[in-house]
Amino acid sequence: MRRKITKPTTAECDLPKYMRFPLCEPKSATCTRLNELSDMSHDRVNRFLQRENFAPKDLFLEAAARPILEGGTLFVDDTVRDKPYTPITQL
């Protein structure tokens, strides 16, 4: 369930900004790739996605409202991959 917005956000990343990126990125739509193409850090995008707790349906509804869906496929993958080369840290 998404959190209830109680005041205007001061975050650099918001849903409209985030959704424009995967809709027009021909390569790999990752937080790191967004950082390469904009002035938004990948950590800010990652925190935005974690804070808002979006379900795949939320992202689809936001994306479906924008393009004209005639043919083609819209694929949203919210998988987080482990980094096997990163040392394990104890919490």
Per-residue pLDDT of 35-48, as tens digits, reads 888 888 878 888 87
* 36 within a domain of the structure (yes/no): yes
Model confidence at 10, pLDDT cuts 50, 70, 90, reads: low
Backbone angles phi, psi at 61, to 5 degrees: -60, -40
* 40 within a domain of the structure (yes/no): yes
* 53 within a domain of the structure (yes/no): yes
Specify the DSSP class assigned to residue 3: P
Q: What is the pLDDT of residue 81?
A: 74
Q: How many domains does the chain have?
A: 1
* 20 within a domain of the structure (yes/no): yes
Backbone angles phi, psi at 28, to 5 degrees: -115, 115
* 7 within a domain of the structure (yes/no): no
3-state helix, strand, coil in the chain (%, to 5): 40, 0, 60
The angle that helices 56-64 and 15-24 make with each other, rounded to 10 degrees, is 80
Range of the domain at 53: 15-64
* 29 within a domain of the structure (yes/no): yes
